[in-house]
Structure 1
Amino acid sequence: MPLVPTAELVDRARAAGGGVAAFNVITLEHAEAIAAGAEAAGVPAILQVSENAVRFHGGLVAIAAAARSVAQASSAELSLHLDHVVSEGLLKAAQHTGFSSVMFDASKLPYGENVKATAAAVRWGHARGIWVEAELGRVGGKAGEAPLDAHAPGVRTDPVEASTYVAETGVDALAVAVGSTHAMVERTAALDHGLIARLRDAVPVPLVLHGSSGVPDEEIARAVAAGMVKINVGTALNTAFTGAVRDWLDANPAGVDPRKYLVPAREGMAGTVERFLRVVAG
């Protein structure tokens, strides 16, 4: 099936009062698992490649081509999203590699610099038909960062500041800090659902939840009901992948053919994708 623009999937989910899940692609097996999970659930999904994954592969071209080929061969409605982009060079590579959307991450910058950099990214993206997401607040757990308490003062996104930020930058979607953290391997995060509702009322654009791997199913469902639209999942796929590989190697210590353990790894991720999609879709 042809790629579907991220904007279309997000707008459709928002209009229906639901959500759409976005899953991180690190390897070819991740992309295949996301497509298989979406086909099994019968709902759309977003394949997203982060700047960290691009760095791991030594560039964007190969992993973008793999994700694009998998998505186009699938019967599910799938889009490609470039996630947590910091470098201008990677931002500008989006238009040539099949990505219809980018999350431009200037969240580490002081507020004024964040606004300036994000507004420039939005102007560049909109001139080329690219949907742009940004982040306000501090969703901890990113690679290379010190641990961050998601409930510490000043961490969560302020609705008044969010309203101003969206107006000043022109972003199409806003990732907000409401109690989740990147890279959680246990699903124990408690979200601030009142804050989600206030943010929904404060800004005219869809809200994005990062760090959803650590959020229990019921919390995700409540978050979508309160106004979250795009739900990002990454670590949960890696947990399923690595767990399946460990189990196979423990049972087959003499095994050397990676296909033997990549099959259960891919199947485990596909099951995880399907489950998240059913929760997010409602």
Structure 2
Amino acid sequence: MSRRVLILTHPTRPAAVHTAESVASGLRDRGMTPIEESEVDDGDIELAIVLGGDGTILRAAELIRGRETPLVGINLGHVGFLAESEVDRVADVVRRAAERDYVVEERMTLDVTVQRPDSDELHHGWAINEASVEKSERERMIEVAIGIDERGLSTFGCDGVVLATPTGSTAYAFSAGGPVVWPDVEAMLLTPISAHALFARPLVVGPDSRMSVEILARSYSSAVVWCDGRRRIDAPPGSHIDVVRGAEPVRLARLNLAPFTDRLVGKFNLPVAGWRGGREAP
């Protein structure tokens, strides 16, 4: 049986095309079958090797959703928080893919439901990093009510609200002032964006909670729900948005089992000079 491996590249980076050719050649040399995005069908795909940054990895996850195929990212971007390897280690990624020398880690996702006021129809979405509820007009705020587990919590005007997974805590939610959450923590985050309120702190809730945002009828602007910044659902005033833990996780092939702390330090170039590992100073 053919061991098919999807290779997905960043569409506008010449370096990605060259690297993809190298990966494909290495896979063939090891008896595996590289396939491109246009060749994805109902057949089994053992692994997806993604060349690019986090945006390309999110696109790959969308492409193979519904399968149990793990993803491994080779970073050609800037931070590349979801990527597992850098471009100078391509040969090692190919070797370990052929030997199945990786650990599959499941990451929480979000399921999103939007109900508009003028219809009983429910609009559904999903996200790996976050669902962001944002104003659709730059010059106007949206008025929102937020709730947890079907209980109202607060009402305020704002530019938006970010509803995130632990994986997404280093993405948009981080930029909005939310906390960094270790990926093995089962939790969800709610972070207001530029809220006009005394109580507008980031919230961390349990994995079985339901986070809700209502676009109040008096809102100055309609809203847009963006799932990972890729999939859009319009939410006019009167809309109700629910976000819960996703039924289907995303699977990442881990090559490096170093602690998440090391990844934070490396990706953000954090200063650690002076850290003594808990030893007492002389």
Q: TM-score, normalised to structure 1's length?
A: 0.23
Answer 1 or 2: which has greater strand percent: 2
Instruction: Determine which structure has greater relative contact order: mean sequence separation of CA pairs < 8 Å that are 6+ residues apart, divided by chain length.
Output: 1
Considering fraction of residues, name the structure with more helix.
1
TM value normalised by structure 2: 0.23
**Rg bigger for which structure?**
2
